[in-house]
Structure 1
Amino acid sequence: KESPQKMETDVPKRVEDLVVPSEMSKHEAGAADPGQNEVVKEEERPACEVAKEEERPAREVADSDGPVNQNLFLFPSSDTINRRLKSLALACARDYEKDKKVVQEKRLSVAKELKQESKKNAQVERQMKDEEREKVREEKLEKLQPFTQKDARDFERALINLGIQYTASGARDWFWFTKHVSGSLTQKYANTLEEAFEQLMAEANRVIEARDRHEDSDTEAKDSIREGATGEARGMEQNTPMKRKLEDGSAVEKEGEHKDDNAAVGSDEEHANGFHLTPERAERLLERLEFFRFLRQDVLKHPMLPQVLRGTKRLNGFPAWWKSVHDRNLLHAINIYGFNQWELMKKDQELGFANSIRLAKRQGSKNAEFPRGSVLARRADMLLAHFRMRVNDPQFTSTANDE
């Protein structure tokens, strides 16, 4: 057994023996791994210092000049987090707006397509309705095209009152005609009116020629009787076909060599177009058509119309306010309104009749009224006759040729 003193001396050596190798191992380990040495040093630091360092803000640790451990993960600062949140919010907002815009564009595109489709369908439907209405209108017009007895009378009356207007090419202007008439004539086609006009002219000429033949036959018979040739007159009477009067006043031979021509006056075949004219009506129609043709193509276009009409004889009973300017205005009024529209002529301010009547009444004139229609019609005929008589005078022809 060792003594206690010896044991005391031996203990430090043993501790020394134990510590020294330990330090040597640590030194060697530190030389082999510097990081490990630092960890050991960290572990040797007091716990209070470690706690204080952990409590320091992450920014101070990040901004410190001291060395930073690469294995240490720092929490971002509040400014960094706020900036990050703002950038995320802006990115989300941009994405949301972008997606919203895409959705809106899709909706607008779909709505536009639907609108176009609806518009196209409405257009097709409207076109179908228009075609249906046009078809119905055409069917109605087709039914109105054949001339009835009433249409024939209205057509004849309209031609007598309005005449015919001609285009620049010289064709009859039926469009103008339909704008100035009323009733079913406004629905007639131009070719229908043209065909009816030709038929009416053929009927008028036929009736007048038939009347002339009858008058010639009657004249020959009267001349034979006047000569006193009784036997010949009797033979003439036997050979002369008998005549009968139609309701319209035209004569038709019952027998004889002109039976076919004269019987045509009352035949159904000739009257298939609805025109039943007497010789008097046929003459009046042809005269009025010639009146309007001469008025529109020659009289109103003459450059010296006021001078040519000057000196026209005044009618009895004509108002005192009527001047030569009113003669010209009367012809222009008939060109616009035709005959039988005297009241419209009177009220037309551009023609000046109403103003002249007003002034005459203000001056106390006895005859300050507008002339009757029959008087105005005679005045118009007189003006055209005066124009025909004077238009070929050298003073007018030379000036007109110069212009």
Structure 2
Amino acid sequence: MGLTILIAVFVIGLVIGLPVAITLGVSSLCYLLVMGIPPVVMPQKMYAGMDVFVLLSIPGFILAGNLMNRGGITERIIRFANSLVGWIRGGLGLTNVGASMLFGGITGTAVADAASIGGVMIPGMKKAGYPADFSAAVTAASSTVGPIIPPSVPMIIVGALSGISVGKMFLAGAIPGVVMGVAMMVTTYLIARKKDFPRQEWQGVSEIAKAFAGAFWALAMTGIILYGLLSGIATPTETAVVASVYAMIVGLLIYRELPIREIPTIVIDSAVSATGILLLVGFANVFGWILVSERIPQAIASAVLSFTENKFLVILIINILLLLVGMFMETIAALIILFVPLLALAVAVDIEPLHFATFAVLNLMIGLTTPPLGVCLFVCAGIARLPLTPVVIAILPFLFTNILVLLLVSYVPAISTWLPSVLMP
């Protein structure tokens, strides 16, 4: 009875459009009341879910990204990417993907990427003669690279849930993120050739040098983050704090585009964003605790293993499940609820935890661009001033490409495990 109420309230909440965090909280509270469990359990479990030291790095990385973005990073990264690939057919589309790959190494969140890059690139592409639906689609698709290339908020969550080193998680996403970005560039180029999209004139090596010099301090943040983690001299939380201080210094003293008077507003906005994520973590932890108490993880594992113990089939089943979940549920909530039970299933068929964690995150990132609840789709459609349907149609080739990359990462473990094994043995 209690489990039926939990699922029914959760589904109804999603259908009527309640925020996922509120839906998780309300459905969990209904379960506790129906089952006669003291409601005081709810704040206790929420606090237990949020009381993880590594989660403190999330506000730091969000603040660092916001400071760098307001301090002039977006335009410089776009200029650098454009100097490299803008002269190829469909060059602005390639620049869009390249900028997302570089920008993702700073913010670690797909929605921030879609809003920041999209706010500049979508109007620019439309002005240059690109169709509005394609401009929005390539921006939404490429934004999903951000949380794969380090730093990555979803991978911090996975590290907190599983005990896997966050440094190893960051490294595990590096090569898959690059592969995903290159694959989307190839897709963009093929579409551009077919539809005869415009291209710019070659601007010369001098422009590349100038653009790189302008973007150097922004790009160096990724190096600082990885050095701090790989060298062992700083935890993810400490690295996030250093990145925030670095971003403030660069914005104030080097780029000189970060007004001092705006820093309090940026800090408050970052705190609000981080609070929303941590609140989601808390409510999702209560929901996950209920599922564990109802032995749902064991039921999932038993059902799959009774059907097959073949490792490759299990990977396929997990991928299909996560792709479906990603269509309807927010990434962090899905990770907190499903990651631990699916990890147990993966380990049972001898899938390495680091490998599983990588393709699980990649799965849910693709969900950010799938209807009906793909957040990045809504963001980019709004910037392009289009209804959702034409953007969904235009993004289909990119979804197909990303799913191919997902299968490659899923069935070739070395793509995600090789770099961590070399740099953090």
TM-score of the superposed pair, with normalisation by structure 2: 0.20
Query: Which is greater in Rg?
Result: 1
Which structure's relative contact order is higher, taking Cα pairs within 8 Å and 6+ residues apart? 2
